[in-house]
Structure 1
């Protein structure tokens, strides 16, 4: 897939969010989109996914089907989890009737099959958004902050899912502000700033795990500080009492 001189602005008189972006992402590739809030990361992802059309330039050789997961899944809809995912499978012309059940089970949505979308927690709604994107077996998977709101088990699933898509020759684009990039070794980086996108080096393929101990009351702050410093927090667990 190639972004060829892509520019975008919201409205004919609006400021340019992105200007003359030209990037390539080969089959089997992963790119992590980095940058401060408000610089255009989500806009770039929506252009790549086909949700937005460029104001100038073109996205070429976009593979299909496309799986798109926005940062916040629009859960204010009058469907149950089962009903919504079955409807999305029909819209995407998924031939395998078992595909919905596979992702419901894998993402831990089985207890919520009969629950209406509006009654779900943010994290569970995000899982529904992820499931609908994966049901058709996407050749292009675009994830806007996929770890946001997910529980630890679901966060750990994301790298495996990305690996499965790319192993099959698909392309994955992921935005990240939590410092989770280390979960996707081998991914290239696209840094968005000032309306431009700068490609960077691939993330390291080998990592080391270091365990640290902090007071339980400080665990959340310590994990946030480590992520902000660019480290991947694999797990936070309480020490068993003796």
Structure 2
């Protein structure tokens, strides 16, 4: 799939969210999209998935089957989990029997069995995200687009996401994923696109090239924000001293320096 000289703005004479973007995603490749909040990561993913159309330029060679998982599943719908997934499978072109089998498989893998008859509007955010992930996988996607897929998921579901990505890649599909939690460290070898100032810059695959380790010391109240910003800019947080979860490191302890590798 190609994005060829793609420009996008949301209204006429409005600011350009993306400018002159040309990138390529080949079959069997995974790309991690990085960047600070509000720079256009979700816009880029929606263009790739076909949710948005470019203002200028074009998206070429998009696979026929695209699995799309938005950052927040639209749960305000009058359906049960089972009814929604079966309807999604039928819209995707599966027969009733195929739809039932596909829904059963992903309901089991994602632990959605207890919620089969629950209305979408009654789900927690994490459970709703599982439904969104399931609907994206009912047909094997040639392109899987995941916008912050780990957000709100429990530990077991977070572990499943890299497995799913690996399965899509093994079948010759492509995966495009954004992440601000640092979870994409579990996708070794993935390429990276960094979005900043309306442009997209390619970075080396994870694990490639020289790596520098830098130790920083910041005031305790700023730890969580600093970690989030560094991750968004493409850095890998090795550790935060005295804390097991850097993203939640806000307790008032003395001197919490941490190491960060580019």
Shorter-chain TM-score tier: 0.7 to 0.9
Q: CA deviation at 1:111?
A: 0.6
Matches within 5 A, 1:33-52: 33-52=33-52
Corresponding residue of 1:149: 152
How many angstroms apart in 1 are the aligned matches of 2:238 and 2:78?
Answer: 37
Deviations 1:31-89 (A, max 9, x none): 00000000000000000000000000001000120000000000000000000000000
Corresponding residue of 1:125: 128
How many angstroms apart in 1 are the aligned matches of 2:116 and 2:104?
Answer: 10
Secondary structure of 2:17's counterpart equals: strand
Corresponding residue of 1:163: 166
How many angstroms apart in 2 are the aligned matches of 1:64 and 1:164?
Answer: 18
How many angstroms apart in 2 are the aligned matches of 1:177 and 1:24?
Answer: 22
Contact 1:86 1:100 in 2 (8 A): yes
Indicate whether 1:113 and 2:116 are aligned. Answer: yes
Q: Which runs of 5+ in 2 are unaligned?
A: 209-222, 246-262
Indicate whether 1:202 and 2:205 are aligned. Answer: yes
Hey, which bits of structure 1, 4+ residues long, moved more than 6 A? none
Contact 1:25 1:171 in 2 (8 A): yes
Corresponding residue of 2:187: 184
Contact 1:186 1:202 in 2 (8 A): yes
Q: CA deviation at 1:180?
A: 1.4
Indicate whether 1:230 and 2:236 are aligned. Answer: yes
The size of the alignment, in residue pairs, is: 220
Indicate whether 1:79 and 2:79 are aligned. Answer: yes
Q: CA deviation at 1:225?
A: 5.0
Secondary structure of 2:42's counterpart equals: helix
Distance 1:117 1:232, change over 3 A: farther
Structure of greater relative contact order (alpha carbons < 8 Å, 6+ residues apart): 1
Contact 1:181 1:203 in 2 (8 A): no
Corresponding residue of 1:4: 4
Indicate whether 1:65 and 2:68 are aligned. Answer: no
Deviations 1:172-207 (A, max 9, x none): 0000111112111110000000000001111128xx
How many angstroms apart in 1 are the aligned matches of 2:237 and 2:170?
Answer: 25
Contact 1:85 1:132 in 2 (8 A): yes
Distance 1:85 1:198, change over 3 A: same
Secondary structure of 2:52's counterpart equals: coil
How many angstroms apart in 2 are the aligned matches of 1:2 and 1:149?
Answer: 31
Corresponding residue of 2:103: 100
How many angstroms apart in 2 are the aligned matches of 1:153 and 1:15?
Answer: 41
Distance 1:73 1:136, change over 3 A: same
TM-score, normalised via structure 1 length: 0.86
Q: CA deviation at 1:136?
A: 1.2
Q: Which runs of 5+ in 1 are unaligned?
A: 206-220, 237-242
